[in-house]
Structure 1
């Protein structure tokens, strides 16, 4: 079996790992879902001091910042060091239907939860459809219009 020799393959793989911008996202993995009239964002921030977590909104841009400080001891010989220290940041563009003044955040057990409410004017609502005078349509069903005539006795 013949194998092609590529002297740059390992270099490309190493450079790709170093320059991979998605690795920063893995340092603050998050979920975002809608529950009723709110969006819920949860982000994993294990080992983060709650005092270093900052959530702010500027216009329609939500920014989450956090800092993890690791013990640094020059007198130790590291066998493996996989936990990264430093600053972490995530930014999300919020839609126009968000009530940015009512966003709330809570940090507990290494998980940041951000509640993002939908603005009242952006919530779904039913529209009443009026017809030519025989009745009106509400919720897809035709209803008799109120009549000023007396009731017919049977």
Structure 2
């Protein structure tokens, strides 16, 4: 007996793994960069209501939770519904060098931007060294 297989089945499975499905949304994609004395993180959240975003920091773990709901218009019949809906979450482990007490967050054009300053204790500083013959000297 010859069994026919769907040649696109494996491709669909791989796509769902990366893009998510309606029942299991994909992970939030991020970019991060260091810009001088700041650490910036950008979360892609298109179509998310800013009021649904929950941002917490606990013991250097940053947690982001957001929800995107399908807008249902009365009398409209969905024909295609591929955009992932539901709750999206992401956690980042932040280093001790960041000052999370001064974290700044903005949401604009579907992107959540976090700016976290580098802590003062993590910045390079000059150390003075005592010299036996002339007293203290500063070494650059």
Q: What TM-score do you get using the length of structure 2 for normalisation?
A: 0.74
* Cα distance in 1, alignment partners of residues 38 and 120 from structure 2: 11
* Cα distance in 1, alignment partners of residues 44 and 70 from structure 2: 17
Aligned partner of 2:35 in structure 1 is 35
Is the partner of 1:101 in helix, strand or coil? helix
Aligned partner of 1:88 in structure 2 is 88
Aligned partner of 2:99 in structure 1 is 99
Aligned partner of 1:126 in structure 2 is 126
Does 1 or 2 have the higher relative contact order (CA < 8 Å, sep 6+)?
2
Could you tell me whether the CA contact under 8 Å between 2:127 and 2:138 is conserved in 1? no
1:63, CA displacement in angstroms? 0.7
Unaligned runs of at least 5 residues, structure 1: 1-5, 140-154
Q: What TM-score do you get using the length of structure 1 for normalisation?
A: 0.68
Could you tell me whether the CA contact under 8 Å between 1:55 and 1:63 is conserved in 2? yes
Rg comparison, structure with higher value: 1
Aligned partner of 2:23 in structure 1 is none
1:105, CA displacement in angstroms? 0.8
Structure 1 residue ranges, 4+ long, deviating more than 6 angstroms after superposition: none
